[in-house]
Amino acid sequence: MTDVELTTKKDWVSDQEVRWCPGCGDYGILTAIQMLLPEFGNRQEDTVFISGIGCAARFPYYMNTYGIHSIHGRSPAIASGLALARRDLDVWVVGGDGDMLSIGGNHLIHALRRNINLTILLFNNRIYGLTKGQYSPTSEEGKVTKSSPMGSIDHPFNPISLALGAEASFVARTHDMDRKHMMEMMRKAHEHKGSGLVEIYQNCNVFNNGAYSEITKRDARAEMIIELRHGEPVRFGPEGEHGVVIDHGVASIVEVADVGLDALVVHNESEPDPSVAFALSRLASDMSSPTPMGVFREVERPEYGHELDGQVARAQADKGKGDLNSVLHSLHTWQVD
Amino acid sequence: MTDTDERTSEIQEVERIIVRFAGDSGDGMQLTGDRFTAASAMFGNDLATLPEYPAEIRAPAGTLAGVSAFQVHIADHDILTPGDSPSVLVAMNPAALKGELPKLEEHGTVIINTDAFDERNLQKAGYDSNPLEDDSLAGYSVITAAMTDMTKEACKDLGVKQRDAERTKNFFALGMVSWLYSRPTEPTVDWIQNKFKGKDLVIAANEAAFRAGNVYAENADLWASRRIVRPAVLPAGTYTNINGNTALSWGLLAASELSGLPLFLGSYPITPASDILHELAKHRNFGVRTFQAEDEIAAVGAALGASYGGHIGLTTTSGPGLALKSETIGLAVSLEIPLVIVDVQRGGPSTGLPTKTEASDLLMAFYGRHGEAPLPVVCANTPADCFFAAIEATRIALEYRTPVILLSDGYLANGTEPWRLPDVADLPKIHVEFLEGPNHVNEDGEEEFLPYLRDDTLTRPWILPGTAGLAHRVGGIEKDVTGNISYDPANHEYMVRTRAAHIAKIADSIPEIVPKGDVDGDIVVVGWGSTYGPITAAVGRMRRKGTKVAHIHLRHLNPFPPNLGELLKSFDKVIVPEMNLGQLAHLIRADFLVDAKTIAKITGQPFTPAELVERIEEAVND
């Protein structure tokens, strides 16, 4: 690393004008990544951002790296192929809740279960922005939008629950109002070997303004954000007076004074069984109750690309490097003179 | 044995035999046919095969729907098709007899397992009376054997379970047919011993059944029915019997070697293409990475991602899968990076006829994407030709940085033919270049890098992530020469026209097509894909009868060979047999204003030479 000239934020900024709506939460996320990337010591050319379609998916154009702005929902699939073909690259996937949970939901869960080395940033604003304001797969029931004038009757996904159900090896949540926390979650996801999913609560100030403000505005955070810290009891509140207990697999919020500190669940992000993490993920059932933020789960699992390359190496060790002529002669052959 | 030797001179020599093995899906007919084929190949015959099986893994036993058949044509001369009508039908049960008898030639031979002709099976096959007892088989030469009973008898002292013994009755049938058609027994015995190595009981049972059938045929005094097909005179070389899916897989391995790039296959299992995935998965030692994706869309997506990273991105599928991949293929058209898409066509639309052949995806390959999204289309013409077609498709994709669709079909995929193996050293290299630095000098004399700057062939550079100084973004939105988004109206028109011109220019690398047969006649028969065998055979027969006919068979469908239009205009009658309703004819008429006439067949089966002769004559006289 000593030979590598360190980069700064501006080295990661492309020459393209950023075209998100003024005030969009995406700006903060872009800045967080551009500030974070110099830390890793990677070069721009070894970094690739792959996205699908949607507001968030314009992201690659703003990064001075390699990048593909692909088609709706398919970014995890395209990124999977690239990450498997080129394990030397640092591959990031960026997309919104419509892109990755609706049209591309299938690819997301399969990338997570395979544990391919990807850092996946899911910008969740609970609305379709680029198509101008229809409800999304994370919109709350009853949401009135252009396509649901009488209120949405769709039950929403909880992205963290979904990812844990797919047995993702790294799952975290952060929000666009706290750059430091965002950077910390992205850093951890990036360090993780395998698929790292970060759900980012992101404000769409045009079509779903203030969706998370009850949770993320500065003076609400102490009461509304349950900070998950590995090895510590799960508690929150200005004085840490609230806590979380898990009873029969169900998480609930209690007063520490009532139950005592020992009754609280101690967060263990490396617990192999995802059940407790899943129970914690259920606490964020709406946008007006205390919501866990932080790393829900980080476990070690074999990384797909490592296993695949291992099979190639093993086949070459067992059979020798491929020889076309011997393959052509591998079925029964006969000679005509 | 001396008795046998003395009587060998009684064996009647014939130029060809077409045997059709038919039985229940669980009767092992594909294996039986395959073994007969292998023994014939070793004996030196030329041959062609046609396996036909139901889509269900085990359709209801004893029913017509459950019949699985395997046709093999063996000859003492060069042949290209599984033949017109079978001369011999092996029927393991009433349903096989009922369903397959109409295909048998007049006065053909039927070999029947009488044990299966009980009331229940007769009823399931829809027979009101037993065809062995009425006159349904009058006019055929009928050979009967209680195959099930005799197989059980042959196995009774081996300690094999009754049911397992019964299951080897297909080898009894193979033993009989091998004797009747003078096939050597060693290849089959060797095969049994190799295949079931370590399972002594299985070896013993199969071998006992096979020998029992062989001896039974000899003892039943079937000498009058015995035939021999002498070895064919084929060009000198080493041969193997190959099906299209295997040849295609090997062609892709070859393309990887010839280009020096590793192969990445993203695929989702689908009949009849899955065997390519199976075959390539065996060859990890070539650096092949096979990725069984969650769906067809992910399969092509992953392949595209791998191509972007500098591998040969490949996806294999059949019609329904190609439909699902179309949006991603459109992205590849827009990104202008290599991608090889193999479509092993089957009957459509929708699920259609999964195990039957059809060649009806041509227009989808041409036009099945939104917007103006042209791409090269090539096809394979025989099972062994799949090898060369795969190399050619990859060459175009890599050298011209474009997605290419390679069309095979169910008949090529599973049909086999003897293949004289090529010398690996003679295969032409595929040239691949990656851009490593600036490719342009601007007005101020500064070096710059333009991702969509094109060369003389209108091909843009292939730039691998990881290349310093060339970081850039590409995407599905219209772009200009920098790769960045451009909504400029004039630029979009320029890009659409340039992408079309780029694909059209590939014709410069395609050799002029040379028709076979009578170029000075009035009639030309134009084909593509697996109709190569039947058309060649049909045109040959017509010419022997004195009709002047030429035959053009295409490998390159988009762009067409540069001289095709001019050539077609030099004939009065342009006849296009296709396993669809006239898709190539449609393209020819549109491109060249030539009055191409369609001969369509959409039965899920390939053309036979005899029907083609008849229908070409009809079309000519129309």
How many whole angstroms separate alpha carbon B310 and alpha carbon B258?
15
In A261-274, which positions are buried (b, 16+ CB within 10 angstroms) versus exposed (e)?
eeebbebebeeeeb
pLDDT for A1 equals: 43
Give the ipTM of the model, two decimals please.
0.97
CB contact under 8 A, B264 and A80: no
The strands making up A291-298's β-sheet, listed across from edge to edge, are A225-228, A291-298, A170-175, A196-201, A119-124, A90-96, A47-51, A66-69, B473-475
Q: What is the mean pLDDT of residues B371-389?
A: 98
* Contact of A68 with A102, CB cutoff 8 Å: no
Residues of A in contact with B242 (CB under 8 A): 331
pLDDT confidence tier of residue B207, bands split at 50, 70 and 90: very high
Q: How close does chain A come to B303, measured CA to CA in Å?
A: 6
Q: CB–CB of A78 and B304 under 8 A?
A: yes
Interface of A with B in 283-322 (CB under 8 A): 308, 311-312, 314-316, 318-322
Residues in B 249-288 with any Cβ partner in A closer than 8 A: 250, 253-254, 257, 262, 264, 266, 283-288
* Contact assignment for A61 to B484 by CB distance below 8 Å: yes
Contact B71, B30 (CB under 8 A): no
Nearest-CA distance A174 → chain B (Å): 27
Mean pLDDT of B589-593: 97
Rounded Cα distance, B91 and B100, in Å: 8
Task: Provide φ and ψ at B228, rounded to 5°.
Answer: -135, 140
Q: CA B174 to CA B180: how far, in whole Å? A: 10
| Secondary structure element (H or E) that encloses residue B366, with its range | helix B362-367
The lowest-confidence range among A218-232, B55-69, B505-519 is: B55-69
Contact B256, B340 (CB under 8 A): no
pLDDT for res B5: 55
- Mutation target vs B (from A34, A80, A318; most B CBs, 10 A cutoff): A80
pLDDT of residue B499 exceeding 90, the answer is yes
Which residues of chain A are under the pLDDT cut of 50? Answer: 1-2
Which of B295, B306, B467 faces A81 most closely, judged by CB atoms?
B306
Q: Where are the alpha helices (DSSP H) in B156-292?
A: 162-166, 169-180, 186-195, 200-219, 244-259, 274-281
- What beta strand segments (E) does chain A contain? 47-51, 66-69, 90-96, 119-124, 170-175, 196-201, 225-228, 235-236, 242-247, 250-255, 291-298, 333-336
Q: Which residues pair with B46 in a beta bridge?
A: B75
pLDDT recorded at residue B473: 97
| Residue in the structure block whose two tokens are 């080898």 | B171
Q: Is A18 helix (H, G, I), strand (E, B) or coil?
A: coil
Tell me the pLDDT tens digit for each residue of B32-54: 999 999 999 988 899 999 999 88
> In this predicted structure, which of A10-19, B10-19, B377-386, B470-479 has the lowest mean pLDDT?
B10-19
Contacts of B254 (CB under 8 A, 6+ apart): A324, B387, B390, B391, B424, B427
CA–CA separation, B217 and A312 (whole Å): 50
Over residues B396-427, the pLDDT tens digits come to: 999 999 999 999 999 999 999 999 999 999 99
Looking at residue A288, its pLDDT comes to: 87
Tens-digit pLDDT profile for residues B217-240? 999 888 888 999 999 998 999 999
pTM passes above 0.90: yes
List all residues 6 or more positions away from A192 whose beta carbon is below 8 Å from its beta carbon: A119, A169, A170, A298
CB A24 within 8 A of CB B447: no
3-state helix, strand, coil in chain B (%, to 5): 40, 20, 40
Partners of residue A325 in chain B, C-beta under 8 Å: 424
